[in-house]
Amino acid sequence: MNKTKAKMTLMARALALMLLVLLPMTGGAQRVLTLDSCRAMALRNNKQIGVARVKQEVNANLRKSARTQYLPRVNALGGYLWMNKEISILNDDQKSTLNNMGTNLATGLQNALSPLTSALPATTQAKMAQDMAQLAGTINQIGAGVVDAFRTDTRHTVAGSVVVTQPVYMGGAIVAANKIADINEEMAENSLEMKRQHTLYNIDLAYWQVVSLRYKEKLAESYVELVRKLKGDVQRMIDLGLATKGDGLTVSVRVNEAEMALMQVSDGLALAKMLLCQLCGLPEDEEIEVSLTPDPSPNGEGSEYSIGGDFEARPELKMLQNTVDITKQTTNVLKATNLPQVVLTGGYIVSNPNNFNGFEKKYAGVWNLGVMVRVPIWNWGDVKYKIRASKGATAMANLELDDARELISLQVRQSNFKVKEAQKKLVMAQSNVANADENLRMANLAFKEGTASYTVVMEAQTAWQLAQSQMIDAQIGVRLSQVELQKALGTLQ
């Protein structure tokens, strides 16, 4: 048992050591990209798509905000007010009269009773005067109490309220605003889809450009090998005296031309890879390799598309339709301003001082419920002119939609024609390649047998290289025409 554990430990250590050795070796390997992986990276790293996603979230939140317009609003209000003077219900004369009410009354009684009291003894008159003075003081206190009771003491006022507002009928403005919010959210989704398809279209073009140049690089390498082999054969003929040095120079020029063409293709391939890396969000100097897929068939998937109304899936058309719908709802919002608006209100109001039980220096409140109605009467035609302008905007949006639909229909027909043309070119290119292969085989055979000169072989090699290049262009052309048609139809996935 212990021996088994020891062996397993040794194997684990050996495996870990192998991984440590192999890791640096695999770190510098080229990254092989497929079309699907390029698409995924481009969609993940494209900045414009990121902006469209954020805009979609913004419009989703605005749509949620519009939904809240149906619900009641609750607001709390509060305030404090200081005044250097208080509100007075009694004027100064009234205050003076009430404060001296007893004195005035006593004076009046004394004047009225003086003819009767003059005949009384002096002690009795003194006693009556004293009683009258006491009565006057008592009544003065009562008057002063009345004055004090009417004092408001509003120099320091504190008030607060909680108000609930519920829209009942707003002329359809809230419904139209919610529909506009829904349309804006849908437009953001269509904008995101448009940018997604545009990104896929650009990445497909860049990817197939790299594939095309990679095939042409391999073709150029094969062509260089062919002319170098011919150069070796001609050199042996020169050594045997069967050819001149001029013949060797002619073949050498052809070798140099082939090598220069290979260098140009390699440089173009490097630039195309840089563009592909940039679209994928990779470092531009990263070493990548594309997966060379099988050659497309002229009758392969996606070679035929029906025209009809399929292009209605184009996000551009959907966005223009969204614009038409928004202008219609904007007209409804403007119409609502000419209609009555009904709002239900309610709440609780508290203040200090309050006048619910006279003027009291304490907090007290009251519940309230009300209905507010706004009825537009006259605005000099302002809303009417705005409605006309909004309807004009709707008419323009409809015209732009019809124009775009016609242009896209033409684009779909042209793209469909290009697909069929590319398929025909591919069939012809396949036939030319077969003929060029046979021609090169026969030229090489005749050259070996001595019945044909090296120039015949060079011409056959040139024809073979041209046929192979046309074959690559036709194959990539089929792919690109299919992508272009899918984009025109709005079905690029």
- Under the banding of pLDDT at 50, 70 and 90, the label for residue 102 is confident
pLDDT of res. 21 = 33
Q: Can you tell me the mean pLDDT for 176-194?
A: 95
Mean pLDDT, residues 246-264: 93
Tell me the average pLDDT of the chain.
85
- DSSP structure string for 439-456: HHHHHHHHHHHTSS-HHH
CA 192 to chain centre: 7
Structure tokens at 292: 């060379």
Is residue 479 within 8 Å of 298, Cβ to Cβ? no
Q: Can you tell me the distance from the alpha carbon of 466 to that of 438, in angstroms, rounded to the nearest whole number? A: 14
CA angle 293, 297, 303 (to 5 degrees): 110
**Binning pLDDT at 50, 70 and 90, where does residue 477 land?**
very high
pLDDT of residue 19: 34
Positive or negative: CA dihedral 240, 242, 243, 248: negative
Name the DSSP letter for residue 338.
Answer: T
Chain centroid to Cα 83, Å, comes to 54
For residues 202-230, average pLDDT: 93
- Amino acid type, 370: G
| pLDDT per position as a tens digit, 54-101 | 999 999 999 999 999 999 999 999 999 888 888 787 888 888 888 888
Cβ atoms 86, 353 nearer than 8 A: no
For the segment 464-472, the average pLDDT, to the nearest whole number, is 94
Average pLDDT over residues 379-402: 95
| pTM: predicted TM-score of the whole model, two decimal places | 0.78
pLDDT value at position 10? 38
| 22 contact partners, CB below 8 Å, separation of at least 6 | none
pLDDT value of residue 241: 84
Segment 157-167 shows an average pLDDT of: 93
Nearest one of 212, 200, 210 to 476, comparing CA atoms: 212
Residue 202 has pLDDT above 70, yes or no: yes
Task: List Cα–Cα distances, 406 to 33, 414, 417, in angstroms.
Answer: 38, 12, 17
pLDDT digits (tens, 9 = 90+) for 260-299: 999 999 999 999 999 999 999 999 888 888 887 655 554 4
Burial 32-47 (b: 16+ CB within 10 A, else e): ebebeebbebbbeebe
- Cα–Cα distances in Å, from 198 out to 49, 193, 305, 372, 490? 10, 8, 20, 52, 10
What DSSP assignment string belongs to 403-429? Answer: HHHHHHHHHHHHHHHHHHHHHHHHHHH
Q: What is the average pLDDT across 157-182?
A: 94
Residue 74's φ and ψ, nearest 5 degrees, are -115, 125
Residue 136 pLDDT greater than 50, yes or no = yes
The predicted-structure confidence for 336-367, as pLDDT tens digits, reads as follows 999 999 999 999 999 988 878 877 888 999 99
Residue 381 per-residue DSSP state: T
Are the CB atoms for 227 and 221 separated by under 8 Å?
no
By CB atoms closer than 10 A (0-12, 13-18, 19+), residue 208 is: buried
Provide the pLDDT for residue 119. Answer: 67
pLDDT digits (tens, 9 = 90+) for 5-57: 444 443 434 333 333 333 333 344 578 889 999 999 999 999 999 999 999 99
**Mean pLDDT on 460-476:** 94
Contact 284, 278 (CB under 8 A): yes
Cβ distance 484 to 308 under 8 Å?
no
* Sheet order of strands, 364-374 included: 73-82, 156-169, 341-352, 364-374
What's the average model confidence in pLDDT over 411-426?
93
Which tokens in the block code for residue 302? 């996606």
* Cα–Cα distance, 425 to 422 (Å, whole number): 5
What pLDDT, on the 0 to 100 scale, is given for residue 408?
A: 93
Buried b / exposed e along 449-461 (16+ C-beta atoms within 10 A): eeebbbebbbebb
pLDDT at position 402: 95
Q: Which of 152, 176, 172, 167 is nearest to 351 (CA)?
A: 152
Q: Are 103 and 197 in contact (CB under 8 A)?
A: no
pLDDT at 109 over 80: no
Q: Decide if 302 contacts 313 (C-beta within 8 A).
A: no
> How do residues 302-335 score in pLDDT, each as one tens digit?
444 444 446 888 999 999 999 999 999 999 999 9
Selected residue with higher pLDDT from 357 and 258: 258
Confidence of residue 2 (pLDDT cuts 50, 70, 90): very low
The pLDDT of residue 422 is 93
